[in-house]
Chains A and B, each alone.
Chain A
Amino acid sequence: MASSSSQVNVHPIQWGVIVVVVSAGIIPLLLGVLRLMQVTQASPINAILHAFDTPLATEALQFTLLEAALSTLLTLLIGIPLAWSLGRYEWRGIRGMRAFLFVPFVTPPIVAAAGFLALYSSGGLLPFMGLDLRTETGVIQWFSELSGWAHPGHMLALVLAHAWFNLSLVVRFLEPTLAQMNPHWEEQLLLLPGGQSWWLRVRHLWWPVLGPSLLVAATYTFFFSFTSFALVKWLVPGANTVESLLGELGGSAGIAFYRTEASLLVLGLALIQGAFMLIILTGASKFENQHTKMLALHDEQANRKLRGNAPRIQRWYVFAIITITSLPFLSVLIASFRKRAMLEDGTQGWTWTLDGWRQVYQGDASTITLLEALGNSLTFALLTLLIALPTGYALASAFHRLERQGKRKLANSLDIMCMVPLSASAVMIGLGIVVGLLQWFPSMFQFQYLPVLPHVMLILPFTVRIFRPAFTRLDPMYEEQIELLNLPLFRAWWHGKGAFLVGPFAIATSLCLAFSLGEFGATYLMVRVGSWDSLSIMVDQLLSRPKFDPLVMPTAMAAATTLMVVTFTALLVCEFVRKSTGGTDDV
């Protein structure tokens, strides 16, 4: 099909955007590494070898790999039956269910940490049910003594939280595959010798069709569990993952003639973590390609009608999971209205109160007011959106044009270079800015909107991931037709392209806002001047306060509830805009 050269050539502005993005993504990290090398006078190889020789680092790495593996396993165990039930049967309100199951993934990590802390701690639902994951008494203590495992309760707490967080990944990848799968494949195989047994059907059908989806979901779950920070910090006291150790050591890294050992360890750990993340992301990318290829062209609605409503046990399972998904949110909300108090009979109990809300609203010398923190968060989020959205669009468009020119390899290489921040964890990006950029340009400490930089670095790869396939699906015929109609620039763009991208725009907007509002790791590492605190940081600071004051917890939970509500509101607004302008579900 013929297409005009102006549609296919990459605009000079787009080239400029590519250069800026690649530089902005790589330079802070590079400067951070260089600064650490300068302070320690060590090479990256020596730093890596030193880390492997340091028990603190190797224990953190072992713990990270173990918790990520267990989290992945549990997520799949819970998620596969869930996706199976949702994908194979008719459900009233399936879109609402999918949307709700997606919410944990975009919940600010500190809110999730606060919610699970409320669930697990005394007065929470789990101790009430006899499962003490916090002080590890009862059945947990029995298991600990039996197995010799020091803190099984804490590990279980973390793994459950990770499964809650990442469940949506399994549903996101597996459910469409199941829903769109040609039902005749299964039926035909049942009638063939090659499908006579369960094992043969797994070998010839289920694994080839579902395997790529499962592997993508598993890889991404592993990735997010591997780099988890807020949940590890609050749910597993005394243990460190690589990410939380970097967070702990990061404050003393990169300072000349001070704690050189810490700088050396940070350098080694950061490089080791980066290597692991590159491997994981490479695998995820490969599996995702296979997964896309396997999606059969079949009408989802016809498939669901073939199977009708789900059996009762599966309905109960789905509703149970949905109920459990809501528990951390409810815990945060309830805990914001409750403070511990001495009851009349002299025992420790709880009273209902609005004091936490009053306290967070008015602030004090240590924390700004709720509205100020909210203002900071929204400002960071909107600035992030204003930068990341058009930049992501421009990048995706540029890569698409390069593909149409036949330069697919170049497009993919540039795409990968723009994705570099994705291979660095949030803490690493924060470190890169603090240790790298700010050491060379200290005046940037005064820049109030500095936190926007790591937010954009972290979110930009996701916007490109959303827009690039959307561009691929666009029919160039619409743009070509528009060129022949002599419309003004914006109308031409809208009718030829924009109207078809409402869905991706809405999804990218909601993800930008949600991730920025909830960003914790990078912002935690950067200089925290009180008046610049975001809601995420405010929650962490409040939770960190000594708790002899019973108001500390309800105040922290009130801030967490506010962050939760704001994030969900942003998601709902974007969803409403997407639906009302006729955007598709397709991403």
Chain B
Amino acid sequence: MFELKNLRKSFGERVLFEKLMLEIGEHEIVSILGPSGCGKTTLLRICCGLDEADEGEILLRESLLARRIINPEIGMLFQRPVLYPHLDVGANVGLGYPHGAPNEKKSEAVEEVLTFVNLGGFQGRNIGQLSGGEAQRVAFARALLQSPNVMLLDEPFASVDTEQRLALASQTRTWLKERSISAIHVTHDEEEANRMADRIIRWSDLVSH
């Protein structure tokens, strides 16, 4: 469904990866396990079009994706929660509401995902009042509301405490499976990977081709 073929990326003389091959099946959740700073985030940025590889191809349902072009079928959750201080919690989450969907159902949908991440009733809150963990869950709620065909998750629960993190990982898996969303999930936490993924790949294996 989503294929990465022979990707190469370097920064100056430092080669992050080359001849990287990865294939994600329909509705499959793949976790990539690796330490911080190894290049996992860069890989995800290349997948969603925020960055571009030196060489290689990315295919979505066998169609070649243009480089550096954002594809609306691919969404990403950043490692640090990216919330907009001029919008309240509800409006931040609402940015993930599908474009063209009926407006009258937006508020209901927003409340649903907020409840899912245990932030029911937070719609009107100022994001400055949120803790780190709450902020990350708001960002996560927005990603869930967006429900793209391919979801890229960059250490999505890094700011959340351990107990909540594992619970969220399970909930996320449920949510993705119910909506048949494929996902690439990067983390350095093996337990989290186990809760989330259909398949776990170690970064060292991925880049050793």
Q: Which residues of A contact B97 (CB under 8 A)?
A: 193-194
B19 adjacent to chain A (CB < 8 Å):
no
Q: How far is the CA of A205 from the CA of B86 in the complex (A)?
A: 9
Q: Mask for A186-229, Cβ within 8 A of B = 1, else 0?
A: 01111111111000100011001100000000000000000000
Interface set of A (CB-CB < 8 Å, partner B): 182, 184-185, 187-196, 200, 204-205, 208-209, 294, 296
B158 within 8 Å of A by Cβ?
A: no
Shortest distance between the CB of A290 and any CB in chain B (Å) = 9
Q: A184-B82, A209-B86, A294-B86 are in contact. Are A204 and B95 (CB under 8 A)?
A: yes
Which residues from chain B sit less than 8 Å from chain A, CB to CB? 48-50, 70, 72, 74-76, 78, 80, 82, 84-87, 94-99, 142, 146
- Give A182 to B76 CA distance when docked, in angstroms: 17
Question: Could you tell me the distance between the alpha carbons of A196 and B70 in the complex, rounded to whole angstroms?
Answer: 9
Min CB distance A202 to B, Å, is 13
Q: CA of A18 to CA of B7 in the docked complex: distance in angstroms?
A: 68
Main secondary structure of the interface of B (DSSP, over half): loop
Pick 30 A–B contacts, CB within 8 A, sort by A: A182-B82, A184-B80, A184-B82, A185-B82, A187-B78, A187-B82, A188-B76, A188-B78, A189-B95, A190-B70, A191-B50, A191-B70, A191-B74, A191-B75, A191-B76, A192-B75, A192-B95, A192-B96, A192-B142, A192-B146, A193-B95, A193-B98, A193-B99, A194-B96, A194-B97, A204-B84, A204-B87, A204-B95, A205-B84, A294-B86
The DSSP consensus for interface residues of chain A is helix
The answer to whether residues A187 and B50 also contact, given A192-B146, A208-B84 and a CB cut-off of 8 A, is yes
Q: State how many angstroms separate the Cβ of B186 from the closest Cβ of chain A.
A: 16
* Beyond A193-B146, A200-B99, 4 additional pairs, beta carbon < 8 A: A184-B78, A188-B76, A191-B75, A193-B99
Closest to A194 in B: B95
In the bound complex, what is the Cα–Cα distance between A294 and B50 (angstroms)?
Answer: 25
Bound-complex Cα distance A190 to B148 (A): 13
Distance A190 CA – B78 CA, assembled complex (angstroms): 13
Q: In the complex, A208 Cα to B87 Cα: how many Å?
A: 9
Compute how far the CA of A582 lies from the CA of B15 in the bound complex, rounded to whole angstroms.
Answer: 40
User: Does A196 contact B99, Cβ atoms closer than 8 Å?
Assistant: yes
Q: Contact: B94 with A194, CB < 8 Å?
A: yes
Hey, which chain B residues are within 8 Å of A209, CB to CB? 86
CB distance from A16 to the nearest CB of B (A): 40
Q: How many A-B residue pairs have CB under 8 A?
A: 54
Q: Inside 8 A of A196's CB, which chain B residues have their CB?
A: 72, 99
Top 5 nearest A-B pairs (CB, nearest first) are A194-B95, A208-B86, A193-B99, A188-B82, A184-B82
Question: B146 contacts which chain A residues (CB < 8 A)?
Answer: 192-193
Q: Which chain A residue shows the least CB distance to B72? A: A196
Q: Which of B50, B78, B87, B96 contacts A193 (CB 8 A)?
A: B96
Task: Please give the distance in Å from B27's CB to the nearest CB on chain A.
Answer: 21
User: Within the assembled complex, what's the spacing in Å between the Cα atoms of A191 and B71?
Assistant: 8
A182 to B87, CA, bound (A): 15
Residue of A nearest to B101 (CB): A193
Query: A182, A185, A192, A196 — which one has the most chain B CB atoms within 10 A of its CB?
Result: A192
Q: Which residue of A lies closest to B50 (CB)?
A: A187
Q: Report how far A192 CA is from B84 CA in the complex, Å.
A: 13
Distance in Å from the Cβ of B21 to the closest Cβ of chain A?
A: 24
Residues of A within 8 A of B99 (CB): 193-194, 196, 200
Q: Which of B75, B95, B96, B98 has the most CB of A within 10 A?
A: B95
In the assembled complex, how far is the CB of residue B74 from the closest CB belonging to chain A, in whole angstroms?
7
Rounded to whole Å, the gap between the CB of A540 and the closest CB of chain B is 47
In the assembly, what is the distance between CA of A352 and CA of B197, in Å?
82
Chain B residues whose CB sits within 8 angstroms of the CB of A200 once the complex forms: 99
CA gap between A193 and B109 in the complex, in Å: 14
**How distant is the Cα of A193 from the Cα of B49 in the complex, in angstroms?**
15
A195: B residues at CB distance < 8 A: 95
- In angstroms, how far is the closest chain B Cβ from the Cβ of A106? 33
CA distance A204 to B87 in the complex (A): 8
Q: Chain A's nearest CB lies how many Å from the CB of B87?
A: 7
Closest-by-CB residue of B relative to A293 is B85
Q: Is the CB of A193 within 8 A of B72?
A: yes
Of all chain A residues, the one with the shortest Cβ separation from B148 is A191
Chain B residues positioned under 8 Å from A187 (CB to CB): 50, 78, 82
Residue of A nearest to B80 (CB): A184
Q: CA A182 – CA B75 in complex, angstroms?
A: 19
Is the pair A185, B72 in contact by a Cβ cutoff of 8 Å?
no
Bound complex: CA A208 to CA B85 (Å)? 9
What is the CA–CA distance of A526 and B129 in the complex, to the nearest angstrom? Answer: 56
Residues of A within 8 A of B142 (CB): 192
A184 vs B51: C-alpha distance in the bound complex, in angstroms?
13
Q: How far is the CA of A104 from the CA of B84 in the complex (A)?
A: 36
Q: How far is the CB of A552 from chain B (nearest CB, A)?
A: 56
Which residues of the partner chain B approach A208 to less than 8 Å between Cβ atoms?
84, 86-87
Q: Which residue of B lies closest to A211 (CB)?
A: B86
Among residues of B, the one whose C-beta sits closest to the C-beta of A184 is: B82
Residue of A nearest to B76 (CB): A191
A204: chain B residues within 8 A (beta carbon): 84, 87, 95
Question: In the bound complex, do residue A191 and residue B48 qualify as a contact, i.e. CB atoms below 8 Å apart?
Answer: yes
Q: Cα distance A278–B40 when bound, in Å?
A: 55
Whole-angstrom distance between the Cβ of B135 and the nearest chain A Cβ: 13
Distance (whole angstroms) from the CB of B68 to the closest CB of chain A:
11
State in angstroms the CA–CA spacing of A184 and B84 once bound together.
Answer: 10
CA A195 – CA B94 in complex, angstroms?
Answer: 11
Q: Which residues of A contact B82 (CB under 8 A)?
A: 182, 184-185, 187-188
Bound CA span A207–B99, Å: 20
Q: Assess whether A296 is in contact with B85, with CB atoms less than 8 Å apart.
A: yes
Question: Which one of B75, B76, B78, B84 has the greatest number of beta carbons of chain A within 10 Å?
Answer: B84
Taken together as a complex, chains A and B put the C-alpha atoms of A47 and B122 apart, in Å, by: 56
B84 contact set on A, CB distance < 8 A: 185, 204-205, 208
Cα distance A191–B142 in the bound complex, in angstroms: 11
Residues of the A chain whose Cβ atoms lie less than 8 Å from the Cβ of B72: 193, 196
Distance in Å: Cβ of A241 to nearest Cβ of chain B: 37
Q: Nearest residue in A to B79 (C-beta to C-beta)? A: A184
Contacts of A191 in B (CB 8 A): 48, 50, 70, 74-76
